[in-house]
């Protein structure tokens, strides 16, 4: 019997029998632009429909920030635009291609600025999530049988956006109470918004939170500092999700092998996207953590960019086999599909997912 997406994903989380590996995908903006020129119909959503994605987001990505929606342009040229963003940071972006921004400066550069200006702004913002929009998406997801989720940024990512990498990491050592306060305030603000959405009737299946806390060889801070300063806010989010009948998915780039036990202790249900170039490999992780963590991703985009179908097929085949061995796996690339991958190649990848993803 063919399952609905909601049934399929729930069964994967519970390690119960299901018909095929659930699937979802993320794409760079430039990738979708290229694919549209190559025959893709329907843009990003059209690509996910072709894949038969099982997951559906029901809210505009939520950030706990002092100035929601802020984008005050302060400089512009033919190639770039520089503006003050919703965290008070000055950032420079390229206009015509998707890249990570160049960070020029930050308003929140001291405890005094945090407590006198930034913290009150976050606390006074209240609920700013678009409830009507989310309710409409929730109803569409339920009508389509999708496994639906709420999503947003967690404390570690917001910390870096407020203070920048250097200041935030230094403050973890020199001013840990400040870091704990930022984590607590921003986490509570996010949960207030998700609580309002839940109470309005959008009772999602999962919470998917994003925060990049690692480089290609280790976490940005030690496991001990993570446990002391950020982990309590992660556990609070997990506890809230579980109390509301949701699974907790955590997105982080980089090598997080050193904190996987802490993720399990906090109550994480799922880890995504599992970057191969950062030493994340579900073939090694499943035997150790496969009963505690559902793995979501780990199909190497570096194997995709040459459009070598033989190489890609071996990658899909091996990762599918590893994930299926414990019945707890969701297909996804190990980051987002880059623009070097052609639409023709990705259609073949979908065929491979169909071929190797059945139970």
Q: Where are the domains of the chain?
A: 5-62+129-356
Other residues' Cβ atoms within 10 Å of the Cβ of residue 27 = 22
Tell me how far apart the alpha carbons of residues 74 and 91 are, in angstroms, rounded to a whole number.
10
**Residue (of 64, 26, 86) closest to 251 by Cα position:** 26
Q: Which two tokens stand for residue 337?
A: 């599909």
pLDDT for res 98: 80
Tens digit of pLDDT at every position of the chain (359 positions): 789 999 999 999 999 999 999 999 999 999 999 999 999 999 999 999 999 999 999 999 999 999 999 999 999 999 999 999 999 999 999 988 887 888 899 999 999 999 999 999 999 988 999 999 999 999 999 999 999 999 999 999 999 999 999 999 999 999 999 999 999 999 999 999 999 999 999 999 999 999 999 999 999 999 999 999 999 999 999 999 999 999 999 999 999 999 999 999 999 999 999 999 999 999 999 999 999 999 999 999 999 999 999 999 999 999 999 999 999 999 999 999 999 999 999 999 999 999 999 99
Q: Give, rounded to a whole angstrom, the gap between the first and last alpha carbons of the chain.
A: 12
Predicted TM-score of the model (pTM): 0.97
CA-based torsion, 342, 294, 190, 222: positive or negative: negative
Fold that domain 5-62+129-356 belongs to in CATH: TIM Barrel (3.20.20)
Distance from C-alpha of 317 to C-alpha of 168, rounded to nearest angstrom: 41
């Amino acid at each position: 019997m063919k399952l609905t997406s909601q049934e399929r994903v729930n069964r994967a989380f519970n390690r119960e029998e299901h018909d095929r590996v659930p699937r979802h995908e993320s794409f760079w903006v430039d990738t979708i632009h290229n694919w549209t020129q190559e025959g893709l119909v329907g843009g990003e959503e059209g690509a996910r429909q072709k894949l038969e994605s099982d997951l559906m987001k029901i809210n505009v990505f939520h950030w706990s920030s002092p100035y929601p929606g802020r984008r005050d342009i302060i400089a512009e040229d033919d190639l770039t635009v520089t503006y003050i963003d919703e965290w008070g940071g000055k950032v420079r972006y390229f206009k015509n291609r998707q890249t990570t921004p160049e960070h020029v400066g930050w308003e929140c550069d001291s405890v005094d600025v945090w407590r006198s200006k930034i913290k009150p702004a976050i606390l006074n913002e209240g609920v700013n999530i678009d409830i009507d929009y989310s309710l409409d998406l929730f109803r569409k997801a339920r009508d389509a049988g999708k496994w639906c989720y709420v999503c947003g940024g967690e404390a570690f990512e917001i910390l870096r956006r407020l203070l920048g990498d250097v200041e935030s990491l230094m403050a973890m050592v020199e001013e840990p109470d400040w870091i704990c306060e930022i984590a607590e305030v921003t986490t509570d603000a996010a949960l207030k918004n998700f609580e309002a959405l839940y109470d309005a009737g959008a009772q999602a299946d999962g919470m998917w939170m994003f925060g990049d806390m690692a480089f290609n060889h280790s976490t940005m801070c030690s496991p001990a500092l993570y446990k002391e300063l950020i982990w309590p806010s992660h556990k609070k989010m997990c506890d809230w999700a579980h109390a509301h009948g949701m699974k907790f998915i955590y997105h982080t780039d980089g090598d997080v092998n050193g904190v996987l036990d802490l993720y399990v202790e906090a109550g994480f249900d799922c880890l995504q996207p599992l970057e191969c170039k950062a030493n994340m490999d579900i073939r090694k992780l499943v035997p150790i953590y496969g009963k505690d963590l559902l793995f979501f991703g780990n199909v190497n985009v570096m194997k995709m960019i040459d459009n070598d179908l033989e190489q890609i097929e071996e990658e899909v085949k091996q990762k599918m086999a590893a994930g299926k061995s414990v019945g707890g796996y969701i297909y996804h690339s190990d980051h987002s599909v880059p623009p070097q991958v052609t639409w023709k190649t990705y259609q073949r990848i979908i065929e491979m997912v169909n071929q190797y993803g059945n139970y």
